[in-house]
């Protein structure tokens, strides 16, 4: 059994990248400099020492599979039912094959391997059920805020649900997690779709762990731009500029 495996969510259509229309290519296959976005995401966890990687593919999956090839495994998300559902479809591939599971989005290509290693080191030292990266920004508008009690994370509140006091919190959730694998598989099927989008949200696992009095920790990224997620042409351009500057 591997100590770690990584799940990279790469099933999206990239509608916002293409003026509201389904793109001819999956979002993660848009080029950044001379490589697709997904290449950078895979490379970041490989360079952090993770050997077992599962890509969750969906829209035009053959394009991703043809490019990345057999150095990773694949799980197909046939319907886009949310981030929690994307992790659910990997259970048959991964359960019993890794002790700890890293999960993040394939459209976030700029995480540094040393940042991932730092999170792993803290995870192994503190032995929480969940460890996550966080970002501290002057303007975290639109992002889910981390609620802490001392060092521990005790909640994530979406921007729209924040009180005026919570809106002052500068630390937010970019969606990069390490889960204790058995806890993840024991709880992933408890996710529900009681939300407007009728989707299974990965962030609901944080609330679930809090209710179970499980330990959750967060480690801020070294630089805010590591957590850029590419959903729009503007974010695509921003990520390209970061790469050109050598991060």
Q: How far apart are CA 108 and CA 70, in angstroms?
A: 21
**15, 21, 26, 30: CA torsion to nearest 10:** -80
Set 16, 97, 112, 148: catalytic member: 16
Render 28-41 in DSSP notation, one character per residue.
GGSEETTEEHHHHH
Is 16 catalytic? The answer is: yes
Residue 72's H or E segment, with its range, is none
**70, 52, 106, 159: CA torsion to nearest 10:** 160
CA distances from 134 to 17, 97, 120, 171, 202 (A): 25, 27, 14, 6, 15
Render 164-201 in DSSP notation, one character per residue.
TTGGG--EE--S-EEEEHHHHHHHGGG----STT----
- Is the Cβ–Cβ distance between 150 and 143 less than 8 Å? no
Active site residues per annotation: 16
């Amino acid at each position: 059994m591997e100590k770690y495996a990584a799940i990279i969510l790469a099933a999206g259509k990239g509608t916002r990248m293409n003026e509201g229309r389904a793109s001819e290519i999956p979002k993660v296959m848009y080029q950044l400099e001379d490589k697709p976005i997904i290449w950078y995401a895979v490379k970041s966890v490989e360079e952090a020492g993770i050997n077992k990687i599962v890509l969750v593919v969906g829209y035009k999956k053959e394009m991703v599979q043809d490019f990345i090839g057999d150095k990773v495994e694949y799980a197909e998300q046939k319907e886009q039912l949310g981030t929690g559902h994307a992790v659910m479809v990997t259970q048959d591939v991964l359960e019993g094959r890794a002790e700890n599971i890293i999960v993040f989005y394939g459209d976030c290509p700029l995480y540094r391997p040393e940042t991932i290693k730092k999170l792993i080191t803290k995870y192994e030292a503190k032995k929480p059920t969940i460890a996550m990266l966080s970002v501290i920004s002057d303007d975290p508008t639109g992002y889910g805020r981390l609620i802490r009690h001392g060092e521990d994370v005790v909640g994530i509140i979406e921007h729209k649900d924040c009180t005026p006091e919570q809106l002052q919190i500068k630390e937010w959730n970019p969606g990069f997690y390490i889960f204790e694998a058995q806890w993840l598989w024991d709880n992933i099927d408890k996710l529900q779709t009681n939300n407007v989008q009728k989707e299974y949200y990965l962030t609901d696992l944080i609330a679930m762990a809090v209710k179970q009095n499980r330990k959750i920790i967060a480690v801020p990224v070294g630089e805010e731009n590591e957590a850029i997620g590419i959903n729009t042409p503007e974010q695509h351009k921003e990520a390209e500029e970061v790469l050109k500057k050598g991060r």
